[in-house]
Amino acid sequence: FNHACVNQIRGGFEKDDGSREYPAAVMLANFPKPTSTAPALLKHDDVLTLLHEFGHVFHHLCSKTRWAYFQLDSVQMDFIEAPSQMLENWGWEPSVLRRFAVHHKTGKPIPEELVARMVAAKNEGAGLFNLRQAFFGLFDMAIHNTTDPNVDIRTLYKTMRQEITRFAGGDANACGAATFGHMMGGYDAGYYGYQWAKVFSADMYASRFLKDGVDSQQTGLAYRREILKPGGSRDASVSLEKFLGRKPNNDAFLKSIGLDQ
């Protein structure tokens, strides 16, 4: 299994007698297995993946709506990735890393100097990554908006990839689109949401959690109440304004990818 995702097992809803059917979810991922000489050890990228998917789990388990449909099924594609992307930030917080990133033999926490170097290198390749995401989002839109029944998917993929990411298309017979699973897996005509949701996740994290402290119980409860609990029962813009105390903006996102100058 070369992907990571969260699937709903059971939706939560209010029963006729007023009691609740509690939700359940499963996380699917492919993390390293233990060996004969070492336990299962996660790379930092694995930790970020784990936190990302847990963001989806929390969104599902903490939502509380009358009807199961309005838990995650109705969350707008523009916003569905925001809670999961925001939780990834805890994987970059030195105070958080020191609590669990310990040497499996000595128990010593990760060196502060190493954490500092990791954070300093966080945006290495950010330009290429964001161009890649822009390409996927635009290609997704292109094929779901075409009216040409004879559109050449291979050529379109190669041409757009080269124009947007500046990388050559590669083997003429290769079908890059065949590796783009999201395109037909529920994110069709919605892959742009990964990038757009980062605007919201960065704003929430920088404006509330960084400002109030990543361990702030008050901020955490406000996040649960205004962002997670409503699920898809109200427009995401309403939830964001209630949590932020204002309309969201892209300042924090641009700063997070090194474009704040």
SS3 174: coil
- How many alpha carbons lie under 13 Å from residue 39 in its C-beta half-sphere? 6
Which of 14, 21, 53, 88 is labelled catalytic?
A: 53
Nearest CA to 139 among 157, 119, 114, 159?
A: 157
Neighbours of 19 (CB within 10 A): 8
CA–CA distances in Å: residue 177 to residues 137, 143, 171, 181, 195: 12, 10, 13, 8, 19
Tell me the chain's radius of gyration from C-alpha atoms.
20
Neighbours of 260 (CB within 10 A): 10
Nearest CA to 210 among 96, 69, 46?
A: 96
Active site residue 14: no
Q: Please give the Cα distance from 210 to 213 (Å, whole number).
A: 5
* Token pair 């449909």: residue: 69
Encoded tokens for 28: 């699917």
Q: Which residues are catalytic?
A: 53
